[in-house]
Chains A and B, each alone.
Chain A
Amino acid sequence: MLERHKTDILILGSGGAGLFAALHAHAADPSLSITIATKGLLGKCGCTRMVQGGYNVAIIPGDSIERHFMDTIEGGKWLPHQELAWTLCETAVERVQELENEVGCFFDRNPDGTLHGKAFAGQTFDRTVHKGDLTGIEIINRLMEQVWARPIGRLEEHRAIALIPAAGERAIAGALLIDIRTGQFRLVEAKAVLLATGGGPTMYLYHTPSGDKSMDGLAMALRAGLPLRDMEMVQFHPTGLLAGPDTRMTGTVLEEGLRGAGGYLLNGDGARFMEGAYENAERATRDIVSRAIYREMREGRTTPNGGVYLTMDHLGPDRVAKMFKGMVERCADCGFDLAGGRVEVVPTAHYFMGGVVCAPDTSTELPGLFVAGEDAGGVHGANRLGGNGVANSTVFGGIAGDKMVRWIGQEPHRMAPDETMIDEEMERARHPFRKPTGSVEEIREKLLSIMWDQVGVVRNARDLNAGLESLEELRQQLLRDTGIVENDLAFNLSWHDWLNLRNLIEVSQVIASAALQRENSRGAHYREDYQDAGSLVDSRFIIVRKSNDQIALTDQQVDFTHVRPGETLITDKAGAPEAAE
């Protein structure tokens, strides 16, 4: 029933964080055995690959680490963990050079051959290094090639279901996985474990992340008793493709550059609603545009599928088709004319700022467990700058790889796993087999609507309370009445849909609880009953823990270790163009 494996380093996830961790750990000590477990194929699932915009790095003459840092702190509305944000900005320079010089990425150049930096919203310098509008593919393909070339173990199509502690000790002993291809449980015992499964708020009616994402990492961290922070912070991208309920394409991103280049948003009556009402009109920041669209939707001025229109036609269809080739082709494949017609769009849940509390060296409260990428909390605070996502995963993935090798140097013994916990977790995964067959899809659709309507772009106490009540009912409905037939567990997606859904509901409850707790509006979190941002110098972040199935919330003052609200680290004025959308 249970197969057992032993390794030195177990990495959960094969995005930018997981692959960088493996490369760094292997380089630091090639004698260690390293195993990557990933829910899909190595490097092919998850969201690093889906990065369009690029990679923020203070590498172009005239920019500075201080300037990148200040943009990150201002963008995060003074909630980021300043040591984490500083580490991000400082290490990104070396990491981009590593990607180019050692991993083999080739980022876009200026005509003279120097690195090209593009303008991205909310930044005071054109620092986003990129490969066209498919930066993630270049980064992840090159990383995959390097990982495949090394003696690094691959457990592909293996999902992690639980972090397993040591017997009788406060430390990690490994992780329990399911081999998706066979349905077999597999325990991997390890001296160090990296949680790098990626967040991905796929519990919203409209969402951008890869379809395999279901908050597995954060759900496991919660069950392991770890503290999570900033869980109310869900970033919405204003322009997701709206193609109706019957296609998985709905919710996928139409890039920011379309608005930047002068695209118009029209409501269902065909009128521009941003112009005049908002500074910078359609070029306002993601959160402002998302809320403006949401307002039109609430007031019923919508398109046939319930969103608004994006139109580029006035810029000249030929020019648009040339400038945004990838986007135009993608729309054409699903039957829409982006260059010359109107495409229905809707705000869409894009990125999760919240995550496991960790130190700048990626260590967590649980000895031997490390965290990097979207599973980690604190880097972005209340809002992530476009281009800081892939910087985050690659910077901290590399740091985690180095750190885990040092950790094993200090703690060379593999701990015996808690066997009771393993049995309990296998039973927990087999829960649906003991219940009458029910419709997982029906519950998933309910979850998506609850989160969208009551815990979404615009929030208030009444809706959040109602949402919490509905989420608990939904959880009970899943656990009580919704089983899966245990007739063939090999590559059984329906079983995994069920496991995904349980994780999504559990994390949704935490998001709603944290959103209720924060009685102000910061960054991605907007409360219509508390519209003020609150005092910046008194900024507090919310910490969530779960024990005995109960959610406990506390908060803590932000430690302004580098800069305080009202101050800046930028002394030079030279060479910095104003931010462009």
Chain B
Amino acid sequence: MSQSQQHLTVSVWRGKSEGAFQDYQVPHLENQTVLDIVTWIQRYLDPTLSYRFACRVGMCGSCAMTVNGTPRWTCRTHVSKVARDGRLKIGPLSNLPVIKDLAADMTAFFEKWQRAEARFTPTKTRLDPIEQIPPSSPARLAASAAIECINCGVCYAACDTVRWNADYLGPAALNRAWTLVNDVRDGGQDVRLRAISANGGCHNCHSHQSCQVLCPQNLNPTASIAGLKRLTAAAFIRGGLK
């Protein structure tokens, strides 16, 4: 362990929905991420501190937490980028139940993904050849622009509409639905359009844009949801949505 004179004061949420922030003094080391801070506390100060991580490099979306009031991946957030006056405040993601300490229960997030019909509906089988689809076709460009979501839940935790309306599907699920309505191979469009225009669907979005500001993958769910709004409105006018 390299030594350093500098210390950070780190307030960490302990408990479930009821609980309190507890302060820890943690040495500020070189190349330290917020996940490393949390790990240091668990290894050297309090072995019962609970948190979730897996890949440690921004691919799995398991380690998102609220850092100084903002949801972020902790594995790729350098401490120097977020610490203010030597202080950090770390809590679990908002808008989700807390399992313990820094670990949120993401079940509702994934259930809404399903409610949005945000999964592929096949029209072909494993015995068919792979479809020839030019990557520059407009629909494919739209799908590709929004596809690299790693379901970390940062947008969902940042979304005011989710906070006010527990029924709202949220940015990530709707963003995935948008990639699917642009997938020419998909056979589930009618069901999906009904799901995303129902209560809790895309029309609830107030375009506050927190999702696109905070998405660590630089995706723009607000734009995807706007696309869905246009599409469902057009389908409604045509009489396609009952």
Q: What residues make up the interface of A, taking CB atoms closer than 8 Å to B?
A: 40-42, 44-46, 49-50, 59, 94-98, 100-104, 106-109, 111-115, 132, 134, 136-138, 141-142, 144-146, 148-149, 157, 181, 210-212, 243-249, 252, 330, 333-335, 441, 484-485, 487-488, 490-494
Contacts and interface: CB of A to CB of B under 8 A. Distances in A.
Contacts of B75: 248-249
8 contacts: A145-B120, A210-B55, A244-B29, A246-B1, A333-B76, A333-B78, A334-B76, A494-B47
Contact of B33 (A96, A98, A249, A493): A249
A14 to B, nearest CB: 11
Given A44-B54, A101-B124, A111-B136, A106 B129 contact: no
A334 B36 contact: no
Contact of A134 (B80, B120, B124, B148): B148
B47 A484 contact: yes
B100 A149 contact: no
A111 B141 CA distance: 12
Contact of B120 (A49, A108, A142): A142
A46 B54 CA distance: 7
Given A487-B48, A493-B49, A97 B126 contact: yes
A333 to B, nearest CB: 4
A351 to B, nearest CB: 15
Which 8 residue pairs spanning A and B have beta carbons closest together? A104-B120, A491-B50, A494-B47, A98-B126, A145-B119, A113-B132, A246-B29, A101-B124
B218 to A, nearest CB: 9
Interface string B71-82: 000011110100
A210 B135 CA distance: 32
A137 B18 CA distance: 35
A112 B132 CA distance: 7
A247 B74 CA distance: 12
Contacts of A491: 50, 99-101, 103
Nearest to A251: B56
B31 A244 contact: yes
Given A145-B113, A148-B110, A335-B78, A101 B118 contact: no
Interface string B92-133: 000000011101001000100110001110101111111111
B190 interface: no
B2 to A, nearest CB: 6
Given A144-B110, A334-B31, A488-B48, 15 more contacts: A41-B52, A100-B130, A101-B124, A102-B120, A109-B135, A142-B119, A145-B114, A210-B56, A245-B1, A247-B32, A249-B57, A487-B48, A492-B48, A492-B50, A493-B42
Given A134-B59, A246-B1, A491-B100, A330 B76 contact: yes
Interface of B: 1-2, 29-33, 35-36, 39, 42-44, 47-62, 75-78, 80, 99-101, 103, 106, 110, 113-114, 118-120, 122, 124-137, 140, 143-144, 147-151, 176, 180, 183, 185-186
A438 to B, nearest CB: 11
B57 to A, nearest CB: 4
A41 B106 contact: yes
Interface of B (DSSP majority class): loop
Contacts of B125: 97-98, 101-102
Contact of B53 (A96, A112, A211, A245): A211
A137 B125 CA distance: 22
Given A101-B124, A104-B186, A491-B99, A111 B114 contact: no
A94 B164 CA distance: 46
A111 B149 CA distance: 24
Contact of B131 (A95, A100, A137): A100
A392 B200 CA distance: 40
A202 to B, nearest CB: 11
B127 A97 contact: yes
Contact of B143 (A106, A132, A136, A334): A106
B59 A137 contact: yes
A103 B123 CA distance: 11
B135 A211 contact: no
Contacts of A137: 59, 148, 150
A491 to B, nearest CB: 4
B186 A113 contact: no
A137 B60 CA distance: 8
B135 A111 contact: yes
A393 to B, nearest CB: 16
Chain B CB within 10 Å — which of A103, A146, A333 has the most? A333
A149 B188 CA distance: 13
Contact of A492 (B31, B47, B126, B149): B47
A46 B62 CA distance: 11
Contacts of A330: 57-58, 76
B127 A94 contact: yes
Given A136-B59, A333-B58, A40 B119 contact: no
A274 to B, nearest CB: 26
Nearest to B56: A248
Given A45-B60, A100-B131, A441-B43, A50 B136 contact: no
Contacts of B106: 41
Contacts of B42: 493-494
A245 B2 contact: yes
A149 B192 CA distance: 14
Given A247-B32, A333-B78, A494 B183 contact: no
Contact of A493 (B1, B50, B77, B176): B50
Contacts of A334: 31, 33, 76, 78
Nearest to A211: B56
Contact of A50 (B39, B53, B59, B185): B59
B122 A104 contact: yes
Contact of B55 (A49, A98, A108, A484): A49
A137 to B, nearest CB: 6
Contacts of A112: 132, 134
Contacts of B54: 40, 44-46, 210-212
B130 A59 contact: yes
Nearest to B144: A106
Nearest to A253: B57
A245 B4 CA distance: 14
A544 B159 CA distance: 53
Contacts of B53: 211-212, 248
Contact of B30 (A41, A106, A246, A488): A246
A247 B122 contact: no
Nearest to A105: B120
Given A245-B2, A491-B100, A101 B126 contact: yes
Contact of A494 (B30, B48, B57, B76): B48
Contact of A104 (B55, B130, B183): B183
Nearest to B122: A102
B148 A246 contact: no
B52 A40 contact: yes
Contacts of A492: 47-48, 50
Nearest to A242: B31
B134 to A, nearest CB: 4
Contacts of B47: 484-485, 492-494
Chain B CB within 10 Å — which of A100, A149, A492 has the most? A100
B120 A243 contact: no
B165 to A, nearest CB: 22
A487 B48 CA distance: 8
A246 B59 CA distance: 20
B147 A249 contact: no
